[in-house]
Amino acid sequence: MADTPTYEELAQRVRELETEAVRRKRAEVALRASEAEKRAILDASLDRIRYVDRDMKIIWGNKTTVLVHGMSQEDLVGRTCHEVFVGRNTPCEGCATSMARETGQIESAVIYHPKIKGIDRESYWETYCVPLKNDQGEIEGFIQIGRDITRQKMAEARIHTLSQQLLKAHEDERQRISQYLHDHVGQELSLIRIGCETLFDGYSDVSLEISQRLARLSKTVQGTITAVRELAYDLRPPVLDQLGLAQAVFRLCEDFSENTGLKIDFQAAGMDDLRVDPDIEINLYRLFQECLNNIKKHADADHVIIRLVASYPNMILRIEDDGKGFDVEGSLLKASSEKRMGLGSMEERVSLLDGNLRIQSRLMEGTKIRIEIPLKEKAGV
């Protein structure tokens, strides 16, 4: 028969139970306080934060999600975000949660919505999805974070438009200066040269010294005429407006090869009878110029292959040289930090044309550049 507990032992046991109950109560209070604190933090966020299960059904949404979309927690629970907010039966294109479910990694995306529940306007959303895994590494749910970046996107669009307009104004001004140099300054200088050459026509007693000085003056004027014409051509090559992009680039390659000794293999395809939008023409021409100048300055190349292809819906430019190559990423970072032109200006120009620029290069293995620009034909053609 077991010994009967003494009064002191019973009292000690009671105290232990009371202590355990107090500890448990405090833990429950602390847990509730912690949960309330976490919820308050999440509710204070301006981002839409949701906890969803593996099937993308909402378990919980923060206050911003509930208020902005004019819904209650009860309305959200058990339904998918694409069903509730967009009225779709399937996830949105580029859905970060769909990607995270496939990869098991944190994924992000920028999604455009013409209209979303509670927001009666077009909007852009930067979304993140964090997969939640158990001890076995299996995904049990996701945390979805959505941030409205519509204002940012609209501001970027305005800057993009203004930059395009600035670039166009710059090229228009170059064209006006080119025409003025060619039509006025060049012709006036030509008249001066003719005047120098014919100044003493009919005079038989002009000294040899004066004739020689006048000949030297005429030669100087002729050199100035040539320089002015070259400047006017560089500002806006007339062949670009007269014969189109392919012929302008062909002439550019010929002149460049003659002046530098660089062998250039240029071919165009799909360009017959195609008149490209003038803004695209001049910008592609500038890209050709920039590429060739970079090769001349840095590549130490002997041979260059250039291809210009019109393949709807894009204009494709490929340039390949056999030069010494370079560190692409490092050069782009250096150009950006030092505010250099070259690659940086090429990136900016391609971006303003809504195009893509890809550069591949290795040391001592040459460089390959591929540029794709959306094709726009000249209005009225």
Average pLDDT of adjacent 10-residue blocks, the chain of 381 residues = 68 72 68 66 82 91 82 86 85 91 93 78 89 91 92 89 85 88 90 89 84 91 91 86 88 92 93 81 90 90 93 90 85 60 78 90 90 76 50
Q: Which two tokens stand for residue 327?
A: 């560190």
Residue 39 phi/psi, 5° resolution?
-65, -40
Question: What is 45-148's CATH superfamily?
Answer: PAS domain (3.30.450.20)
Question: What integer pLDDT is reported at residue 20 of this predicted model?
Answer: 72
Contacts of 370 (CB under 8 A, 6+ apart): 316, 317, 318, 357, 358
Question: What integer pLDDT is reported at residue 222 of this predicted model?
Answer: 92
CA–CA gap between residue 84 and residue 57 (Å, rounded): 10
Contact 100, 129 (CB under 8 A): yes
Where do the domains of the chain lie? 45-148, 152-236, 243-381
Question: What integer pLDDT is reported at residue 204 of this predicted model?
Answer: 79
CA–CA gap between residue 295 and residue 326 (Å, rounded): 11
Q: Which two tokens stand for residue 132?
A: 């939640």
Question: What integer pLDDT is reported at residue 307 of this predicted model?
Answer: 94
Question: What integer pLDDT is reported at residue 205 of this predicted model?
Answer: 83
Q: Tokens 């894009």 appear where?
A: 314
Instruction: Pinpoint the alpha helices (H) of 181-244.
Output: 186-198, 208-235, 238-243
Question: What integer pLDDT is reported at residue 337 of this predicted model?
Answer: 56
Contact 50, 62 (CB under 8 A): yes
Q: Does CATH place domain 243-381 in 3.20.20.150?
A: no
Q: Which amino acid is at 8?
A: E
What does R_g of the chain's alpha carbons equal in angstroms?
A: 36
